[in-house]
Amino acid sequence: MAEASEEPALHGRELYAVLGALMLGMLLASLDQTIVSTALPTIVGELRGAEHLAWVVTAYLLASTAATPLWGKLGDQYGRKRLFQLAIVVFLASSALCGLAQSMGQLIAFRAVQGVGGGGLIVLAMATVGDVVPPRERGRYQGLFGAVFGVSSVLGPLLGGFFVDHLTWRWVFYINLPLGVLALFVVAVALRAPQPRRSHAIDYPGVALLAAAAVCLVLTATWGGTRYAWGSAMIVGLVLASVALLLGWAWSARRAVEPVLPPHLFGRQVFTVCSGLAFVVGFVMFGALTYLPLFLQVVHGISATMSGVHLLPMVFGLLLTSVTSGRLIARHGRYKMYPIAGMGFTALGLYLMSTMDESTSDLAMNARFLVLGLGLGMVMQVLILAVQNAVPYEDLGAATSGVTFFRSIGGAFGVSVFGAVFASRLVGNLTALVPGRLDPERVANDPALIRTLPEPDRQPYLHAYSDAISIVFAWAVPVAVAGFALAWVLRELPLRTTSRSQDLGEAVGCAPTARSSLAELEVALTRLMRRDLAARELYEGLVRKAGFDLSAGSAWALCRVARELVIRRQDLAGEAEVPVERGRRCVDPLVAAGYVERDEVWLTITSAGLVAADRLAEARRGGLAELLAGWEPERHPELVDLLTGLSRADVGGVHDRTVLGP
């Protein structure tokens, strides 16, 4: 039986406490992708390591990307509660170490460990929702969890700036400790839901080889032409190692039972194009989020908190077009125009940002940030939708996680490449100022020194930073243009029903996912179930399909009594939030038909009532099966179990006072 058929073990306050703890854990992990950005200029100034700035972000992204599929499958296999607790402990311990770091090297190492824990928090929190929430309610709660990504996108830069201005940059990491301990305590005490466990053939070699190849490629992009010449032994060795590791991964993946990224997916045009677009989106977005605060704080002298405020137009633009394009796609079924327009806006935004300097007004900067956000949002919403719409059921989970994998890897590359370009240009600019008032190396490591100079003497140094950051965005323009060209060749296929159910988390979240094909379809179905007709109309339709002469209220009462077998009359009326006498009018036809037996206190289902309730559940199952058109559920036993479990739980679990009528 699919997981959907399991009875949730939590109710009421206990359920809300666990969901709050899970959302808190996800918020911590998603927040740490953005909260560091506005603190980076201060961190660099204190720890003296501007050339390593990019790796504070890159280490987290790479580690999270590599660890996510392992957390997901280990959670399926050994139970999610203990794994989620372990992820919290890893995240908290590494957060404390990040706050205590005394050098950039230490901070980068601890950020990598933090990324391992963060990947577990995100994937296990989403999976645990299915363990503790009734099927019909999952769409609503999964939507709330997805919205956490949007909230973290807004809060991250603001909180990072606030801590830098009013406390210390170390509180960017210390803030995780009390919140994480609270989440750990609530999960330990309240989470007791039973979870069916599934065995997996975990592709450890595939994860290790892909992660190692990604690290080698990122190092190549970071060091090539800066620390080492492109033709040096180090760079050539890294390139050869990357090729060897990728070939090893391809060989390993063809022999793995459950490869982390099946090579045959690259034979599908839609997956290949969307993976390329995801790479470009991650490249551009994380690069911008990393270096814009540096531009605002150093070149324009804006406080860390206000630099977070200046990033809000980009975030709001991203959220606006993500949500709007998703709704338009669901309504009209067309999606190709959005990545084309989105990449065009993205390229335009990057070009406009490359023209910024120390004299650019706040309004002009915010307008540029908004254009970039609008472009990114139009692309991000489409990628997972298009891939899920194009692959067969067997590849659904792997294709989804593959696209988010490339988005994360793109982010790691973007930050690293931008970092290499920035560091090289900045050193050249500062060296050209000699003889000057400040040592170029000291200014590169600690940009705050510029503010110690008299106003006339600052200008050359401010321009040196402005030019170095502007050239970063200029280099990103060709990448966005390549994404624009790539979007034109994306094949547009007719949308399946389940492809119209994307959520905010998939639209704006940048963490990799790791759900199975079954879990992906369950998530889509439960979202669609939330969009279903009102409870009265739902039951009226079920009665018609099943051929009964019952009201919607009587059908609901029958399903509810059948689910419990025996229930107090008062309890049934209480669930519908109506007086007992009002509910009696809906139960009377059930008693007359022999479906329910009634005494002064209890309602008891009869054998005929069980048969009738099964017919209603089967009618609901048929309606849900229509939503899976194109996925061939008859060929996949687990989909049959999913439909059966969702339909039985759904028709027995609708709690709506309107069902019983006036």
Q: Is the pLDDT higher at 242 or at 203? A: 242
Domain boundary among 133, 166, 191: 191
Mean pLDDT throughout 238-267? 83
Mean pLDDT throughout 397-420? 79
Q: Which of 49-53, 302-306, 558-562 has the lowest mean pLDDT?
A: 49-53
DSSP 539-603: HHHHHHHHT----HHHHHHHHHHHHHSEEEHHHHHHHHTS-HHHHHHHHHHHHHTTSEEE-SSEE
Residue 285 placed within a domain? yes
- What pLDDT score does 235 carry? 84
The reply to whether 580 and 619 lie within a common domain is yes
Domain boundary among 191, 223, 247: 191
The reply to whether 352 and 269 lie within a common domain is yes
Contact 447/41 with Cβ under 8 angstroms? yes
- What pLDDT score does 661 carry? 47
The reply to whether 547 and 646 lie within a common domain is yes
Domain boundary among 260, 277, 298: 260
- What pLDDT score does 518 carry? 60
Residue 3 placed within a domain? no
- What pLDDT score does 613 carry? 84
Domain extent at residue 120: 10-191
- What pLDDT score does 344 carry? 92
Chain mean pLDDT for the chain: 76
> What would the two tokens of residue 499 be?
């492809």
The CATH code of the domain that includes 583 is 1.10.10.10
Q: Is the pLDDT higher at 18 or at 251? A: 251
The reply to whether 277 and 174 lie within a common domain is no
- What pLDDT score does 371 carry? 92
Q: Is 70 exceeded by the pLDDT of residue 570?
A: yes
Residue 502 placed within a domain? no
Sign of the torsion formed by the C-alpha atoms of 274, 279, 281 and 282: positive
Going from the C-alpha of 433 to that of each of 121, 122, 301, 457, 462, the distances in angstroms are 47, 47, 20, 11, 11
Percent over 90 (pLDDT), the chain: 3
The reply to whether 144 and 255 lie within a common domain is no
Residue 180 placed within a domain? yes
- What CA–CA distance (Å, rounded) separates 445 from 638? 57
Banded pLDDT at 519 (limits 50, 70, 90): low
- What pLDDT score does 656 carry? 43
Q: Is 70 exceeded by the pLDDT of residue 660?
A: no
- What pLDDT score does 485 carry? 92
> What would the two tokens of residue 108 be?
């980068």
Find the DSSP H helices in 167-303. 171-174, 176-190, 204-223, 233-253, 269-294
Q: Is the pLDDT higher at 516 or at 295? A: 295
Contact 261/69 with Cβ under 8 angstroms? no
Report the alpha-carbon angle 100-102-105, nearest 5.
110
Mean pLDDT throughout 448-466? 74
The reply to whether 246 and 275 lie within a common domain is no
Mean pLDDT throughout 158-182? 83
- What pLDDT score does 498 carry? 60
**494-512 pLDDT per residue, tens:** 776 665 555 554 555 555 5
The reply to whether 153 and 187 lie within a common domain is yes
Mean pLDDT throughout 438-459? 68
Mean pLDDT throughout 23-32? 78
Residue 364 placed within a domain? yes
Q: Structurally, how many domains does the chain consist of?
A: 4
Query: If you search the block for the tokens 């390593």, which residue do you land on?
Result: 52
The CATH code of the domain that includes 86 is 1.20.1250.20
- What pLDDT score does 197 carry? 57
80-89, 125-134, 455-464, 471-480: range with highest mean pLDDT: 471-480
Contact 218/108 with Cβ under 8 angstroms? no
Residue 27 placed within a domain? yes
Q: Is 90 exceeded by the pLDDT of residue 348?
A: yes
Mean pLDDT throughout 113-126? 82
Q: Which of 199-213, 497-511, 573-587 has the lowest mean pLDDT?
A: 497-511
Residue 504 placed within a domain? no
- What CA–CA distance (Å, rounded) separates 447 from 462? 9
- What pLDDT score does 12 carry? 61
The reply to whether 222 and 273 lie within a common domain is no
The reply to whether 599 and 540 lie within a common domain is yes
Tell me whether strands 602-605 and 596-598 are parallel, antiparallel or unpaired.
Answer: antiparallel
The reply to whether 272 and 228 lie within a common domain is no
The reply to whether 131 and 150 lie within a common domain is yes
Percent over 70 (pLDDT), the chain: 76
**134-150 pLDDT per residue, tens:** 665 665 666 666 667 66
Residue 382 placed within a domain? yes
Q: Which of 310-324, 610-624, 637-651 has the lowest mean pLDDT?
A: 637-651
- What pLDDT score does 4 carry? 40
- What pLDDT score does 318 carry? 82
Q: Is the pLDDT higher at 243 or at 189? A: 243
The reply to whether 541 and 484 lie within a common domain is no
